[in-house]
A and B are shown apart, each in its own frame.
Chain A
Amino acid sequence: MVDFDKSLLALSGCPVIEGSGGAYICNPYPIISSETNEILSHEICHALAGKYDYEIFHTATAARESQGFNCVLNLLFDWYHEKLYGDRSLFLRTFIENLHKTFPNSNSDNKLLNLYHNGIIPDDFPNILSTIDLVEYADNFVEQATEQEIRKLLLLYNNTGGQTLVGGGRDVGVSPKLSDYYFKTVSKYNNIIEELSTLWKRNKYEWKNNYFGEINWKNLVGMFIGDKLSLPVFKLFLKISMSRSIYLVIDRSGSTNGTLKTTIMDTAIIITESLRRCNVPISILDVGVTDSVVNDIKSPVQLDWFTPMAVGGTAIGEVCSQIKDADKDSYLLIITDGEPDSFEELLSSIAAFPGDCLTFVIGNSYFKYKSIVKNAIQVEPNLIIREMLNEQTLS
């Protein structure tokens, strides 16, 4: 059963793909699972905030082998993530309730208790640029704290369930900022996405020199004949190099209104998620609604941006010209209905792009688009993409 917990989505940006008995299997990729280890179960809430942060936590606690440090860093991570995401976990909420019960008039010298009890941020609290700052602060805190202070924290921590709390998830969620369309789509097409990711990874070994990172154009002929239209599409996709940066331009202009806009968005999500799971850097560019770069190549993809919309003009060329950091190994993928405002501007932007370019044209304007722009592939909504998305076809 593939489903998502919305309350978790809001906080994490990461879909929970399975949940049973208080144990969550989460995705950022690769999957992090917690089924038998109670402490790890709690740490899943950290993992939800990102794999990198979780690994920082895990490494820091593994290296120090100190229960006191583990407790302090745990609390700091909770505080930080919940401050960051504007919400409190069940764990932290219970911890604070216990704190007030146990020490009703706490005016402690313990900076960490003060932070939680009274919301007073210590003077020496770092400007947090990454969770490594929290590790540094936790070290300093443990070094300066008395044994009694650490014992007090541990007592509260353990009573709250720091060692035994199962699940550790957040039960208070807010609605996603823009959309949970991405997660629903990933959920719907998860098998296909996994298939594509596997193909990309597996294919790396098989690449021949002349096809490295290139589209194998011989497959194009097969796209337009035969019953299994999905196969050539897979073959095309799997020629995209994992070592390249991908610039994905998604057309959400007014002309895509109707079923086109969802087909375009579904295609974009399938490509994005499949590549994301292979750790390929992707920059998303929005045509129509904002005509802007949604995330640059060094930033994580904003999953909550992916919403089917059809607004405004089709300034693909103008949007492509906003790409600043591409190199010859970069790949420009455009998903559009094939009706740009200006072909001249589009051609000039493609010419200026240092790497290769490929366009997926969805809709009736394919032949006109193809006659002007090289490397275009027709994607008929009711044929190729639908065929590709049909899980029965795969099996």
Chain B
Amino acid sequence: MNKLSVSQLKELYIDGDHKELTIKLPHNRRKGHFITNLLNSNILTMGSKILGPPLTFGADPEFILEDDNGGVLLFSNEHVTSNFGMSEAEVGADYGLLEFRVPPVDNPLSIIKSIKTLYKKFNDTVKGASIKNTEAIVYNHRLNRIRKGIESGIEYDYGGTGKDQGVWNNINNECDPIIGLESTQTFSAYDFPRFPKYREDILTAGGHIHIGGTFIQLLSFEQLRLFVRILDEKILPICIGCETSAGELRREAYGFPGEFRIKNYGIEYRSPSNAIFQKHNLGKLKKVYKIIEKIARNFLVTLD
């Protein structure tokens, strides 16, 4: 009853029936790349996470705002009337940048729909500010945040550990803070990581892609690094292709290939800029998420 062929096991894996795969695997420990890859993963040790959704997609793109005169506008709660904290709201602020906290969904089409909804919400609720279609700009953001803070008492250090876990971790916004830890460390998919230097004179906007679910959670750290290297190969060129020349400026401070963080839901891929999330690029973004889905579903099957 528990004996299955390798192709049947692969089918369970690709279909995302990882709970069943966990049950069958102890009975089917034989030679071969796929089984070895599975046994090297965390699939037999991931606890009740195995009961979670197989694949989730999310994002937290940031945008630089400009005022009616074309100057940089540091976004804060003075620009909205919402009761939500700006560090938690779906259309929120992060160190003066506009940030969309796209709720996790289970398919690429839904995430595009969610982003469009957030654009609309921004346009409907925020007046006197518009999104600047750029990935970075020479602008001393630190100095201006401090100045603005002194002048009007606004605190811009939103984000970081202050973020509401429920926005990020679980599909349907169900918060379970007990499972695992949120990582604020950025890892590199390469042996010699290059994390660019913090630049207070360049205001940058990232387009972090969140990929979660058991497909990602079951991967070991080394497998995750390999997964991110594949994202670099297949996804990053599309993202960079959407950029303006300011994309290079952003990489003076952020967004080298292979940057990722481990999250409760899976990983946050941090290399792309916000360009792929700009309204006119959403068609390409849909393609990106579809490629990610394909890579995730086949990852351990195609891994040598």
Q: Which A residues are within 8 Å of any B CB, using their own CB? A: 30, 52, 55-56, 58-60, 62-64, 132-133, 135-136, 139-140, 143, 201-202, 204-209, 212, 243, 329
Quick one: closest A residue to B183, CB to CB?
A: A201
What is the number of residues of chain B that contact chain A, defined by CB distance less than 8 Å?
28
Whether A62 touches B51, Cβ cut-off 8 Å, given contacts A201-B185, A209-B194, is yes
Q: Would you call A205 and B186 a contact (CB within 8 A)?
A: yes
Q: Does residue B2 face the partner (Cβ distance < 8 Å to A)?
A: yes
- How far apart are the CA atoms of A52 and B27 in the complex, in Å? 19
Q: Can you list 30 pairs linking A and B with CB atoms under 8 Å apart?
A: A30-B181, A55-B46, A56-B45, A59-B48, A59-B50, A60-B44, A62-B51, A63-B19, A63-B22, A63-B50, A64-B23, A132-B26, A132-B29, A135-B26, A139-B2, A143-B1, A143-B2, A201-B185, A202-B185, A204-B185, A205-B185, A205-B195, A206-B195, A208-B197, A209-B192, A209-B193, A209-B194, A212-B193, A243-B191, A329-B191
Report A44 CB to chain B, min CB distance, Å: 14
- How far apart are the CA atoms of A206 and B194 in the complex, in Å? 10
Q: Does residue B71 face the partner (Cβ distance < 8 Å to A)?
A: no
- How far apart are the CA atoms of A62 and B186 in the complex, in Å? 31
Q: Does residue B153 face the partner (Cβ distance < 8 Å to A)?
A: no
Whether A59 touches B46, Cβ cut-off 8 Å, given contacts A139-B2, A143-B1, A202-B185, is yes
Q: Which B residues are within 8 Å of any A CB, using their own CB? A: 1-2, 19-20, 22-23, 26-27, 29, 43-48, 50-51, 181, 184-187, 191-195, 197
Other A-B pairs, 12, CB within 8 Å; known A55-B47, A63-B51, A209-B193: A55-B46, A58-B47, A59-B50, A62-B47, A62-B48, A63-B20, A133-B26, A136-B26, A136-B27, A139-B2, A204-B187, A208-B197
- How far apart are the CA atoms of A205 and B183 in the complex, in Å? 11
B47 — which chain A residues lie within 8 A by C-beta? 55, 58-59, 62
- How far apart are the CA atoms of A132 and B29 in the complex, in Å? 10
Whether A59 touches B44, Cβ cut-off 8 Å, given contacts A132-B29, A207-B193, A209-B192, is yes
- How far apart are the CA atoms of A143 and B1 in the complex, in Å? 9
Whether A56 touches B44, Cβ cut-off 8 Å, given contacts A63-B19, A132-B29, is yes
Quick one: closest A residue to B19, CB to CB?
A: A63
A212 — which chain B residues lie within 8 A by C-beta? 192-193
A52 — which chain B residues lie within 8 A by C-beta? 45
- How far apart are the CA atoms of A64 and B44 in the complex, in Å? 12
Quick one: closest A residue to B20, CB to CB?
A: A63
Q: Would you call A63 and B23 a contact (CB within 8 A)?
A: yes
B2 — which chain A residues lie within 8 A by C-beta? 139-140, 143
Quick one: closest A residue to B25, CB to CB?
A: A132
Report B292 CB to chain A, min CB distance, Å: 24
Neighbour of B45 across the interface among A59, A139, A205, CB < 8 A: A59
B193 — which chain A residues lie within 8 A by C-beta? 207, 209, 212
Q: Would you call B192 and A58 a contact (CB within 8 A)?
A: no
Report B201 CB to chain A, min CB distance, Å: 18
- How far apart are the CA atoms of A133 and B44 in the complex, in Å? 12
- How far apart are the CA atoms of A5 and B16 in the complex, in Å? 43
Listed from nearest, the 6 A-B pairs whose CB atoms lie closest are A55-B45, A136-B26, A62-B48, A63-B22, A58-B47, A135-B26
Report B197 CB to chain A, min CB distance, Å: 8
- How far apart are the CA atoms of A381 and B46 in the complex, in Å? 44
- How far apart are the CA atoms of A56 and B43 in the complex, in Å? 9
Quick one: closest B residue to A134, CB to CB?
A: B26
Report A208 CB to chain B, min CB distance, Å: 8
- How far apart are the CA atoms of A136 and B24 in the complex, in Å? 9
Report A243 CB to chain B, min CB distance, Å: 8
Report A204 CB to chain B, min CB distance, Å: 5
- How far apart are the CA atoms of A202 and B183 in the complex, in Å? 10
Quick one: closest A residue to B187, CB to CB?
A: A204
Report A49 CB to chain B, min CB distance, Å: 14
The listed residue with most A CB atoms (<10 A of its CB), out of B20, B27, B45, B197, is: B45
B194 — which chain A residues lie within 8 A by C-beta? 209
Q: Would you call A58 and B48 a contact (CB within 8 A)?
A: yes
- How far apart are the CA atoms of A206 and B22 in the complex, in Å? 38
